[in-house]
């Protein structure tokens, strides 16, 4: 169980470190979820700018190709495209990404159509529309779903039209088949590279969204099962664990009930803030004294319940005595000075033909005996009968 507070995550690597070895999603507080959303937005913006730079470079390469082949129309159109792409890149630093994104998509489509008309389908410039279509989902980050879908459909329609129109490039006679083949190979490599990088970025975005959703859901679950003061679990996980032990017919566990001594006097003398500090101090000791497979809970008020798994009868009292002494020797700030508290502990070990409820009731009886014997002590009960009273709610969700 992760203790409070939830620090802000400043990188995806920080989330990966927290996930290392975990078998379930990392809980993300609302603030952490927002910080990861900002990181995802920033990463997407960096890629969008990189894609615009790539578009500028390809436009300049097309201008050079146009000059070499004497295609004045290509030079004019792609020169204007390069200038507009630079303006779109600058706009991403001052305006929301979708504004520049729309311009980049439209400019790239015009550039691809121009090159296809100029050099014919043999140069495979129309394949660049695949990369342009995928880039819509990154360049249009934050835009409405309808706008992204509309642009994708328009690009798809243009690609289909270019396949069936049968355009013969007006420069085709001036270019040999070998040169067209070289242009086609270079264009195919650029297209595949752009598509792969775009798919990678989209995959990162999908993974980020999944992490955020799962982490937010995990945080909501933790909020429902965690005591906000101590960071320990509340009653629900304890009840679920006891129900699981009863179902599996396990008898290698013990239950300990701890209660602060004279807690009302602490509250009356120093105030509830000091009482909260005492409870938090005891909770920290308990969280540090038991194993991950044990369930340490704040049962309510100044009372704690611990379900101790796989413990031998000879080990139980010694373990709880060490915990008691450690709490007694732990100091915390209270009313401007250092102080400490003591606890009384009652415990019982599971027995065949007895339910977890019986074991919990026996531990509660042992706690009462510890109080009666002068407090600040451990009392364990080895043999007990079935209990007629219930400490467990009928509904395990309560």
Element of type H or E holding 362:
helix 356-372
Structure tokens at 143: 């835009």
Q: Where are the beta strands (DSSP E) in 203-291?
A: 254-260
What separation, in Å, do the N-terminal and C-terminal C-alpha atoms of the chain show? 20
Residue among 37, 398, 28 at smallest CA distance from 221: 28
Q: Within 13 A of 240's CA, how many CA atoms are on the CB side?
A: 12
How far is residue 211's CA from residue 71's CA, in Å, rounded to a whole number?
50
Residue among 188, 182, 281, 199 at smallest CA distance from 232: 281
How far is residue 54's CA from residue 197's CA, in Å, rounded to a whole number?
12
3-class DSSP assignment, residue 347:
strand
Q: Tokens 């009482």, residue?
A: 275
Considering the candidates 40, 227, 294, 302, report the single residue annotated as catalytic: 302
From the number of C-beta atoms within 10 Å of its C-beta (0-12, 13-18, 19+), residue 195 rates as middle
How far is residue 85's CA from residue 49's CA, in Å, rounded to a whole number?
10
How far is residue 97's CA from residue 89's CA, in Å, rounded to a whole number?
10
Cβ atoms 107, 54 nearer than 8 A: no
How far is residue 243's CA from residue 43's CA, in Å, rounded to a whole number?
46
CA-CA-CA-CA dihedral for 277, 282, 283, 285, to nearest 10:
130
Catalytic, 284? Answer: no
Residue among 223, 55, 182 at smallest CA distance from 131: 55
User: Which residues are CB-neighbours of 104 under 8 A, at least 6 positions away?
Assistant: 51, 52, 55, 85, 88, 135, 139
How far is residue 175's CA from residue 162's CA, in Å, rounded to a whole number?
20
- Catalytically active residues, by annotation: 302
């Amino acid at each position: 169980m992760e203790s409070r507070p939830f620090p802000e995550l400043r990188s995806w690597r920080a989330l990966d470190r927290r996930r290392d070895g975990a078998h379930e999603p990392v809980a993300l507080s609302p603030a952490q979820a927002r910080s990861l959303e900002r990181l995802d937005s920033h990463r997407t913006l960096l890629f969008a700018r990189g894609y615009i730079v790539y578009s500028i470079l390809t436009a300049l390469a097309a201008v050079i190709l146009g000059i070499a082949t004497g295609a004045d129309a290509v030079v004019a159109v792609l020169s204007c495209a390069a200038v507009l792409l630079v303006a779109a890149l600058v706009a991403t630093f001052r305006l929301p990404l979708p504004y520049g994104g729309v311009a980049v998509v439209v400019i790239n489509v015009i550039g691809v159509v121009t090159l296809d008309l100029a050099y014919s389908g043999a140069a495979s410039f129309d394949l660049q529309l695949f990369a342009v279509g995928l880039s819509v989902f990154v360049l249009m980050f934050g835009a409405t779903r309808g706008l992204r879908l509309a642009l994708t459909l328009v690009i798809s329609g243009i690609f289909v039209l270019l396949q069936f129109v049968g355009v013969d490039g007006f420069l085709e006679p001036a270019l040999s088949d070998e040169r067209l083949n070289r242009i086609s190979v270079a264009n195919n490599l650029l297209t595949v590279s752009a598509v792969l990088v775009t798919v990678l970025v989209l995959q990162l975005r999908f993974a980020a969204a999944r992490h955020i959703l799962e982490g937010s859901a995990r945080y909501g679950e933790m909020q429902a099962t965690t005591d906000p003061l101590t960071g320990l679990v509340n009653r629900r996980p304890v009840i679920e664990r006891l129900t699981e032990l009863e179902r599996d017919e396990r008898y290698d566990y013990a239950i300990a009930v701890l209660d602060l001594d004279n807690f009302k006097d602490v509250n009356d003398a120093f105030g509830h803030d000091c009482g909260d500090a005492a409870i938090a101090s005891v909770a920290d000791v308990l969280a540090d004294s038991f194993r991950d497979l044990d369930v340490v809970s704040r049962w309510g008020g100044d009372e704690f319940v611990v379900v101790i798994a796989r413990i031998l009868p000879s080990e139980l009292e010694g373990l709880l005595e060490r915990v008691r002494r450690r709490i007694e020797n732990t100091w915390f700030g209270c009313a401007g000075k250092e102080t400490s508290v003591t606890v009384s502990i009652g415990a019982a070990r599971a027995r065949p033909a007895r339910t977890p409820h019986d074991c919990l009731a026996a531990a509660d009886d042992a706690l009462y005996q510890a109080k009666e014997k002068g407090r600040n002590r451990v009392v364990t009960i080895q043999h007990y009968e079935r209990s007629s009273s219930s400490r467990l709610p009928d509904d395990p969700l309560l």
